[in-house]
């Protein structure tokens, strides 16, 4: 049993690293996603086309590959040796930019699902463009995007395990190492349980958030 | 004095003429009803009057403000080179002019995430920058007039269609516009709810509010409007005293149209 405790303690250490990736990614990618929604929806074609391309690139290639590029890219492209201190920033940048691309598409479809009549009513009442967005469109968009954003967040929990490709000791990597060293599969079960509980909490919280918007239809 | 005047307005969508040489004006305190079969250009005309759409050529004036001039056969909007709605919403002159009118839509277009009270008071406070307490006091007066005092803190989804449309009317009134446009305000409603909206508009007419009402309710137009404009295929076919035009139309096209509404 002491053995199991030991395993759990080590995995909790790895879980901390996973949580760092998770929260950093959320805090950066949600606003970043909103930020790139605007040029993505720009009426200036070259600008929107550029962002369409960037977003398709980010969504169309494996996150694992993108993490490798962010981590080793500076060395291969510019000859910079950033060392291990670059590992956490590379992971957070890679995750945040990748998830921002997904969130941007979710936000875009959310914004486009708002009836044109809302814009027309706002225009006739004299609201300017930023008032219309901030007061009328954005709040309604948030309500509409909660379900797809929840799906992405749940995927993110599981995706944190991808950080292993650049040998970052998040939870899954730790579990795998112990499993290999001690020739037992228990650590992997424990890690799986952690992911499950984590996502259970995410689903619970997002359900509360969704319900908090139920005061209107 | 006329509150609103449009002259020689032309509008095409993809080379299809939708409005051809429309001219009319509305005097203060006058109620004008626009009738005509669907597709005749009534909505497009109201959208041009409220800057939701641009005209191709013509002139448009609110009170002393000339907003659109005709230059070399093309409509020229004040302070506006780029004819897009985005650019329009940045145009300070037009924003000021927007205070002159209100528009009541067929499908209400209330803001669903706001209470009734916020729907009615937000634009006067944050667009017109009026005093908050004064606006709220006004809002309650108008809500009371609409029989919705008790619904001030409800959300639109909690109201019937007729109630929602009355909120939309209160929202327009609270901006203290010089003229209110209605685009088929009862078309989305059951007959029962229709009469409650018509009653409210009738009351506004009796207070000498300046209004332009697009409607398919002929007896309402006959009884409430001062003047009726009959449109067909993008042109004004006949225009005149409401009672005379509807009970005794001169033009064949008008007769044919009104026949459909008889008995
Ligand atoms: N945005 C648009 N693009 C193309 N055609 C339009 C547009 N808006 C209206 N039309 C056309 O203009 C004509 C007049 O429409 P509308 O003004 O809605 O008429 P009404 O309100 O009298 O029914 C119709 O033939 C309609 O199809
Ligand atoms: Mg219409």
Contact B40 CB / ligand 1 (< 6 Å): yes
Residue A114 is predicted with a pLDDT of 97
Give the dihedral of Cα atoms A85, A88, A89, A92; nearest 10 deg.
180
How far apart are the C-alpha atoms of B148 and B233, rounded to whole Å?
39
**DSSP-assigned states of every residue in A85-98:** GGHHHHHHHHHHHH
Residue B26 is predicted with a pLDDT of 97
How far apart are the C-alpha atoms of B135 and B174, rounded to whole Å?
7
Q: Is B54 near chain A, with CB under 8 Å?
A: no
* Nearest ligand 1 atom, CA B14: 4
Record: contact B155-A121, CB cut-off 8 A: no
Percent of chain B with pLDDT over 70: 95
A133 DSSP assignment: I
The residue contributing the CA closest to ligand 1 atom 17 is B41
Report pLDDT digits (tens) over A27-55. Answer: 999 999 999 999 999 999 999 999 999 99
Are B119 and B111 in contact by the 8 Å Cβ rule? The answer is yes
CATH number, residue A209: 1.10.3720.10
- Using CB atoms, which residue from A117, A143, A216 is nearest to B155? A216
Residue B84 is predicted with a pLDDT of 64
* Strand pairing category for B227-232 and B31-35: parallel
- Residue A157's domain comprises 2-216
pTM of the predicted protein model: 0.92
The residue contributing the CA closest to ligand 1 atom 24 is B39
How far apart are the C-alpha atoms of B100 and B252, rounded to whole Å?
36
Query: Under 8 Å CB-to-CB from B173, ≥6 apart: which residues?
Result: B102, B142, B145, B180, B204
- Using CB atoms, which residue from A126, A135, A139 is nearest to B99? A126
**Residue B211: pLDDT over 80:** yes
Residue B10 is predicted with a pLDDT of 97
Residue with the two structure tokens 């108008």: B142
In the predicted model, residues of chain A with pLDDT beneath 50 are none
Residue B261 is predicted with a pLDDT of 81
How far apart are the C-alpha atoms of B45 and B36, rounded to whole Å?
12
**DSSP-assigned states of every residue in A101-114:** HHHHHHHHHHHHTS
Report pLDDT digits (tens) over B139-167. Answer: 999 999 999 999 999 999 999 999 999 99
Residue A173 is predicted with a pLDDT of 85
Residue A83 is predicted with a pLDDT of 78
Percent of chain B with pLDDT over 90: 85
The residue contributing the CA closest to ligand 1 atom 7 is B13
Report pLDDT digits (tens) over B55-95. Answer: 999 999 999 889 999 999 899 888 776 666 666 666 777 88
Residue B152 is predicted with a pLDDT of 97
Tokens of B86: 């985005």
A68-to-A74, A78, A91 alpha-carbon distances in Å: 10, 15, 9
Contact B44 CB / ligand 1 (< 6 Å): yes
Mutate to test the interface with B, among A42, A114, A122, A126 (most CBs of B within 10 A): A126
Residue B85 is predicted with a pLDDT of 62
> Rounded to the nearest whole angstrom, what is the distance from the C-alpha of residue B46 to the centroid of ligand 2?
9
**Maximum alpha-carbon separation in chain A:** 71
Residue A35 is predicted with a pLDDT of 97
Report the complex ipTM.
0.94
How far apart are the C-alpha atoms of B120 and B140, rounded to whole Å?
9
How far apart are the C-alpha atoms of B88 and B190, rounded to whole Å?
36
Residue with the two structure tokens 């050529």: B57
Are B241 and B248 in contact by the 8 Å Cβ rule? The answer is no
Q: What angle do CA A203, A207, A211 make, to 5 degrees?
A: 175
How far apart are the C-alpha atoms of A137 and A134, rounded to whole Å?
6
Structural domain total, chain A = 1
Report pLDDT digits (tens) over B112-123. Answer: 999 999 999 999
Q: Which residues of A touch B51 (CB under 8 A)?
A: 123-124
How far apart are the C-alpha atoms of B168 and B173, rounded to whole Å?
9
Q: Long-range pairs for A36-41 at CB < 8 Å and ≥24 separation? A: A36/A100, A36/A101, A36/A104, A37/A104, A37/A107, A37/A108, A37/A111, A40/A104, A40/A108, A41/A108, A41/A111, A41/A112
């Amino acid at each position: 049993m002491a053995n199991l405790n030991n395993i759990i303690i080590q995995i909790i250490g790895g879980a901390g690293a996973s949580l760092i990736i998770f929260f950093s990614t959320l805090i950066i990618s949600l606003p970043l996603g909103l930020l790139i929604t605007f040029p993505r929806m720009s009426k200036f074609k070259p600008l929107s086309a550029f962002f369409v391309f960037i977003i398709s690139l980010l969504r169309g290639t494996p996150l694992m590959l993108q993490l490798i590029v962010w981590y080793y890219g500076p060395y291969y492209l510019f000859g910079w040796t950033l060392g291990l201190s670059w590992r956490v920033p590379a992971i957070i940048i890679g995750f945040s930019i990748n998830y921002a691309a997904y969130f941007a598409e979710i936000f875009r479809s959310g914004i486009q699902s708002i009836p044109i009549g809302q814009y027309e009513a706002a225009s006739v009442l004299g609201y300017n463009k930023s008032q219309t967005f901030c007061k009328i469109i954005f709040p309604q968009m948030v309500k509409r995007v909660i379900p797809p954003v929840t799906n992405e967040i749940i995927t993110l929990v599981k995706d944190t395990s991808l950080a292993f490709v650049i040998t970052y000791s998040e939870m899954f990597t730790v579990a795998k190492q112990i499993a290999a060293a001690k020739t037992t599969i228990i650590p992997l079960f424990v890690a799986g349980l952690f992911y499950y509980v984590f996502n259970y909490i995410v689903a619970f919280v997002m359900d509360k958030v969704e319900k908090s918007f139920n005061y209107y239809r | 004095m006329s509150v609103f005047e449009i002259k020689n307005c032309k509008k095409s969508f993809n080379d299809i003429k939708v409005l051809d040489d429309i001219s009319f004006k509305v005097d203060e305190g006058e109620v004008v009803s626009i009738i005509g079969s669907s597709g005749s250009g009534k909505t497009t005309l109201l959208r041009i009057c409220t800057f939701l759409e641009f005209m191709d050529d013509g002139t448009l004036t609110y009170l002393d403000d000339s907003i659109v001039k005709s230059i070399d056969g093309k409509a020229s909007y004040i302070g506006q080179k780029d004819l897009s709605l985005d650019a329009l919403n940045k145009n300070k002159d037009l924003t000021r002019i927007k205070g002159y009118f209100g528009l009541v839509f067929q499908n209400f277009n209330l803001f669903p995430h706001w209470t009734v009270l916020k729907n009615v008071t937000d634009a006067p406070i944050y667009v017109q920058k009026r005093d908050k307490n004064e606006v709220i006091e006004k809002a309650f007066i108008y809500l009371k007039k609409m029989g919705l005092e008790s619904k001030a803190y409800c959300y639109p989804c909690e109201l019937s269609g007729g109630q929602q449309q009355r909120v939309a009317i209160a929202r327009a009134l609270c901006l203290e516009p010089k003229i209110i446009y209605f685009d088929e305000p009862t078309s989305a409603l059951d007959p029962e709810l229709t009469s409650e909206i018509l009653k409210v508009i009738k009351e506004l007419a009796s207070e000498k509010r300046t209004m332009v009402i697009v409607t398919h309710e002929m007896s309402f137009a006959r009884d409430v409007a001062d003047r009726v404009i009959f449109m067909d295929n993008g042109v004004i076919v006949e225009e005149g005293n409401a009672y005379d035009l509807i009970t005794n139309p001169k033009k064949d096209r008008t007769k044919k149209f009104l026949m459909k509404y008889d008995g």
